[in-house]
Structure 1
Amino acid sequence: MNETIAWINDRWGQPTELSLPLSDRGLQLGDGVFETVLVRNGQPQLLQAHHQRWCDGATVLGMAPPPTLEVLRPLIAEAVQRSCSDGALRLNWSRDGAGARGIQVPLDEPDPSEHRFWFSLGPHTPTFNTESTWISRHERRNANSRLSHCKTFAYGQAIQARQEAILAGADEGLLLSTTGELCCGSTANLLVLRQGQWLTPPLSSGCLPGVMRQQLLELGIAREQHIDPTPQPGDKWLLINSLDCRVVSEVNHQALSTAVEAKELWAELLTTDH
């Protein structure tokens, strides 16, 4: 098989066949966290790092911990058998709400039985193409918000930034921080090669703590540095996440060098799992 498969409540099926209750807070309020994991040759890549960020995000939101790795691994293995050995796995964890109206979260200890887990696995081929970018004039990542460090269901800002970029004649949107520095792309971390050193915006900018970004830092390939919106001469920019690594060809119509081995760098980060 080579089609997307999904699982929820011990049921397997196509994503269009399965459903969530309309009362689910993830559906109504974006109250939940997710992870997108690359699967290569049937093996989820950097699963432990993704799982840790998933758990950290749930903690920030005051949710119960998501399913453990011991629960996930056999389900993922079965999904690979049912779907594909090379693809994108999305893990979802939402707060159920049990039909309650309003935004208030219960103040007692979060109960895992009042949360909902589901996932999907579908074919995906990593891309390493070049993309023109546009710095959003309307959307900024909040450097002071704890939510900026969680991969939540709420992606409205990223959608708006990308739409703005497309209307400006570019492929992808870049976001400034509320501090005025560059922060990230709509769905990826920013990586800048400057004078032989890879740089990435610090978490204090409000960027998402990407798994591949963390790999770059832990392996000593990159270091954190504030990035100004205007590229410097000789800069080479990448947008990197767990599924792809795209070369930035221009920023607000200013051309950049694209002579960088994006695929090789990205693949190197998959060789070490923690």
Structure 2
Amino acid sequence: MSSTLAWINGTWGDPSELKLPLSDRGLQLADGVFETVLIRGGEPQLLQAHHARWRDGATTLGMAPPPSLEVLGPLLREAIQLGGLNDHSATARSRNTIERHGALRLNWSRDGAAARGIQVPAGEPDPALHRFWFTLSAHQPSFAAVRTWISRHERRNATSRLSHCKTFAYGQAIQARREAIEHGADEGLLLSTTGELCCGSTANLLVQRQGQWLTPPLSSGCLPGVMRAQLLKHELAQEASIHAQPEPGDCWLLINSLDCRVVSAVDRHALTTTTQAEELWGALLKG
């Protein structure tokens, strides 16, 4: 697949050609939630977990539930077929080719049916006043090392509802990564308003310390990542407060549903690196 495929209102096309109304609250106010799902072997990975977080995020923000798995199923199968991502890994190996992966983004916005401003319609949220669309792009998971920089300007709000939902509002993450690049790093790390380390700009933080994988608690304001939940479910990691200063022998990872990057440095201080990133990430996709 050489370009991104998009769907909205029953129409397939290029995302640069399909349109959203200018009144859409997702566009105007970042008032919406989304999910990014890995396509691997022709199948969406951990789709039920992603859908549950998508639905819970919408509920938290007072939105109607997004489309059900029953509605999504036929659409996603068609998208995978149209995107040429339906070759299973065994077939790809028999052709001696690299297995193709995709990044699926599911979007659910609160539409602009209300009057101008931030007020939402009164009463029970109406699905008819929401908008659903999705995109599917080629993606190759990365396990390469990244240098990180702890943002001096941006902090995750430990008590905000928005910190616990995957919303359209990514301005803070954009600024944290921009700041990191300005300091010669690749990726930004964010502190919490509690003072502890929280997450990367688009990934959960995972620290191996004295043989145990640790990840910041949700009370830090980190996003409840799907891969993070898999780690805890399978007792491969435990929650613990992580402070900005690495300890000798630490190995750090930044993990999400699309990649698992090894942290080679924090604020120009070199870290011990691990070769377990790809193996660990792959094991979590098995459910």
TM-score (norm 2): 0.94
Q: Distance in 1 between matches of 2:147 and 2:161?
A: 30
For structure 1, which runs of at least 5 residues remain unmatched after alignment?
none
Selected match of 1:201 from 200, 216, 234: 216
- Residues matched between the structures, number: 272
Of 116, 137, 141, 1:101 maps to 116
Q: How does 1:205-216 map to 2 (within 5 A)?
A: 205-216=220-231
SS in 1 for 2:176: helix
Query: Which residue identity lines up with residue 195 of structure 1 in the other structure?
Result: Q
Amino acid in structure 2 at the alignment position of 1:139 = E
Work out the CA distance in 2 between the residues paired with 1:84 and 1:182: 40
Provide, for residues 40-91 of structure 1, a one-character-per-residue CA deviation record: whole Å limited to 9, x for no partner.
0110000000000000000011000000000001100000111131200000
| Structure 1 contact 236–260 (Cα < 8 Å) conserved | no
Partner of 1:36: 36
User: Do structure 1's residue 240 and structure 2's residue 246 form an aligned pair?
Assistant: no
Q: Report whether the alignment pairs 1:113 with 2:113.
A: no
Structure 1 length normalisation: TM-score? 0.98
CA distance in structure 2 between the partners assigned to 1:150 and 1:172 by the alignment? 21
CA-to-aligned-CA distance 1:137-162 (integer Å, 9 cap, x gap): 00000001111000000000000000
Cα distance in 2, alignment partners of residues 245 and 259 from structure 1? 11
Identity percentage of aligned residues: 74
Mapped to 2, the partners of 1:146 and 1:62 lie a distance apart of: 11
Structure 2 residue ranges without an equivalent (≥5): 86-100
Supply the distance in 2 between the matched residues of 1:173 and 1:31 (Cα, whole angstroms).
24
Which residue is 2:206 aligned to? Answer: 191
RMSD: 0.8
Contact 1:87/1:122 (8 A) holds in 2: yes
CA–CA distance in structure 2, aligned partners of residues 99 and 214 of structure 1: 36
| Whole-angstrom CA distance in 1 between matches of 2:24 and 2:161 | 22
| Aligned-partner Cα distance in 2 for 1:74–1:2 | 23
Rounded to whole Å, the distance in 1 between the matches of 2:139 and 2:50 is 18
1:141 aligns with 2:153: no
1:170-193 CA-to-partner distances (Å, cap 9, x unmatched) read: 000000000000000000000000
Q: Which amino acid aligns with 1:165?
A: A
Displacement after TM superposition at 1:107 (Å): 2.4
Matches within 5 A, 1:117-266: 117-266=132-281
Distance 1:84 1:2, change over 3 A: farther
CA–CA separation in structure 2 for the residues paired with 1:103 and 1:111: 17
What are the superposed Cα offsets for residues 68-119 of structure 1, whole Å, 9 maximum, x if unpaired? 0000011000001111312000000000022620001122000000000000
- 2:61 is equivalent to residue 61 of structure 1: yes
Q: Does 1:90 align with 2:88?
A: no
Moved over 4 A (4+): none
Q: Does residue 1:81 correspond to 2:81, yes or no? A: yes
> What's the offset of the Cα at 1:2?
4.2
Match for residue 23 of structure 1? 23
Question: SS at the partner of 2:132?
Answer: strand
C-alpha separation in 2, matches of 1:8 and 1:151: 20
